[in-house]
Structure 1
């Protein structure tokens, strides 16, 4: 699916990243360009060392590119923004805050009235399946529950783009499947634009509208694969297996 300027929520244009190493400069990314349409779910996959997380950090405004640019809704990304919701593999929850306190943290930094903030937090906890846990603390939660808190916190400020960096990488297989299904439900309900980094090809095929496949040395786009399979998707379906093998071949060759 080609994404034109009018449809693009986020656009990555010619992004390159060079680091200075002990043996000289290292080109981590080279001329990476693609766009994500409003409401689209795009996954980013590739071999270890291809620069997936570096690209994620550049898109998030956490570090600048050496060349090229990232724009969100037509505005250049020059640093962190509340218009970007971030979810990482590590939950980064405040242990001294309750679940509600963690989810509502971003809202406290704006001029959001307390009543509106509390209602928003309640709605989000219901959305991620944590109704009844508002007064719990992170230490009382399972890994899957902590990640749902992190997702609710990212959604609290109603960002234009939800960026997720291997968010389910630290949970067991059963919990991962549950979180994947819940994320797709939340995505369908909210209409959010999602860019999701993963090393798990099966996860990418299950979730994405398109999969951006990266190569390494230097990090670059190998191919963008459309996943034209009706949801919900099953690993046992022939079409799923065909796309899975195609992406795996691109990564391994």
Structure 2
């Protein structure tokens, strides 16, 4: 199913006919086939699907870390040909600089663009936004997994990107920390108004977070359906409507 909406012309992000082929030992392998959908300004969209459906490949193409074989990714109407400061990227692995403090990590992307006073103000604002006030002088080795991921989110937000692109960002933390980070991410999204594209294998996580869910199927990776999640936040698995959405997404993935 094509996820393109009537408001595609004004989309913050547009994925248009993206295909990806690799050269395999036994010939070309089609990883993605004709993937098209849009993400509106300020929208929170999750991409879900089973292992091998091409979620991470699509993420890397949208982030400009990999090229599509065919098709385009447009951000604010401009073709994405490589990494851009207009996109803040958060991975499952934290990728923090161990020799830098929390403030040093958060402010890394600002070092060549802001004066010292403005950089300190911006970093302090972000450290507070992600709930790490009082830990600015701490090093990554002294932080829990959840705290490290908060630093990674703050660093991605530091340059005020148009798109926050996240690949399984809470996959490496325990269930309790994961739920806490989900709530905090929604708070950050509400406060900043950022456009968020979030890749996850966890259907429950997608339903708790997303305005819409893009369901990918594999062999090759393609859009099975794009679902609106018309539930009030905060959302609970105990809600019958939540359960109905959950079963629908699972059915689509299994099909």
Q: TM-score category by the smaller chain?
A: over 0.9
Structure 2 Cα separation of the partners of residues 49 and 37 of structure 1 = 27
Alignment-derived partner of residue 113 in structure 1:
115
Counterpart residue number, 1:101: 104
* CA positional deviation for 1:7: 3.0
Q: Is the 8 A contact 1:3 1:36 kept in 2?
A: no
TM-score (norm 2): 0.98
TM-score (normalizing by structure 1): 0.98
Structure 2 CA distance for aligned equivalents of residues 231 and 8 of structure 1: 24
Partner of 1:139: 141
Task: Kindly state the Cα deviation for residue 56 of structure 1 after the two structures are TM-superposed.
Answer: 0.2
Q: 1:58 aligns with which of 61, 65, 68?
A: 61
Residue 19, structure 1, aligned to residue 46, structure 2 = no
Equivalent in the alignment of 2:242: 240
Shift of 1:250: 0.3
Q: Check whether the contact 1:3–1:35 (CA below 8 A) recurs between aligned residues.
A: no
Note the aligned Cα RMSD (angstroms).
0.9
Question: Gapped runs of 5+ residues in structure 2?
Answer: none
Following TM superposition, by how much is the alpha carbon of 1:3 offset from its aligned partner in structure 2, in angstroms? 4.9
Select the residue among 159, 183, 205 that pairs with 1:181.
Answer: 183
Q: How many residues align?
A: 252
* CA displacement 1:187-217 (0-9 Å, x = unmatched): 0000000000000000000000000000000
> SS of the residue aligned with 2:42?
coil
Q: 2:127 aligns with which of 119, 125, 128?
A: 125
Distance in 1, Cα, partners of 2:8 & 2:252: 28
* Alpha-carbon displacement from aligned partner over 1:21-70 (angstroms, at most 9, x marks no partner): 11111000000000000000000000100000000000000011000000
SS at match of 2:8: coil
Q: 1:213-241, CA deviations, whole angstroms, 9 ceiling, x for partnerless residues?
A: 00000000000010000001011001100
Q: Give how far 1:115 is off.
A: 0.5
Residues 147-185 of structure 1, C-alpha deviations (whole Å, 9 max, x = no match): 000000000000000000000000000000000000000
Query: Pick from 71, 74, 89: which aligns with 2:74?
Result: 71
SS at match of 1:204: helix
In structure 2, C-alpha distance between the alignment counterparts of 1:68 and 1:223, rounded to whole Å: 19
Could you tell me how far 1:6 is from its partner in structure 2?
A: 4.1
Structure-1 residue corresponding to 2:10:
7
Using the alignment, how far apart are the partners of 2:191 and 2:246 within structure 1? Answer: 26
Distance, in Å, in 2 between the alignment partners of 1:5 and 1:75 is: 14
Stretches of 4+ aligned residues off by more than 2 angstroms:
none
C-alpha displacement of 1:4? 1.5
